[in-house]
């Protein structure tokens, strides 16, 4: 989405096509595609990091309790 969006923006800016109503170049309108791809990736990475941090801090369910500080004899 990011790479394809950048290609789309570049090709639209090369063509110089303008929006009839707003009188701005369509390449600027299509900047929404790579920007949304960037933010989608950013929030996915943030969510993944939060999930991994949560899994590291919570004990496993249903499994045996970890043996810490007890003699194993």
Please name which of 13, 47, 48, 45 lies closest in space to residue 31, comparing C-alpha atoms: 13
For residue range 5-61, list pLDDT tens digits in order.
Answer: 999 999 999 999 999 999 999 999 999 999 999 999 999 999 999 999 988 887 767
The whole-model pTM stands at 0.69
pLDDT at position 56: 87
Distance in angstroms (rounded) separating the CA atoms of residues 43 and 32: 16
pLDDT at position 20: 92
pLDDT at position 58: 79
pLDDT at position 66: 63
């Amino acid at each position: 989405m990011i790479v394809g969006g950048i290609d789309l923006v570049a090709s639209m800016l090369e063509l110089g096509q303008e929006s009839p109503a707003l009188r701005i170049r369509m390449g600027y309108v299509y900047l929404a595609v790579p920007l949304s791809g960037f933010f989608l990736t950013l929030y996915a990475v943030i969510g993944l990091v939060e999930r991994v941090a949560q899994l590291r801090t919570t004990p496993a369910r249903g499994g045996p309790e970890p043996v810490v500080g007890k003699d194993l004899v």
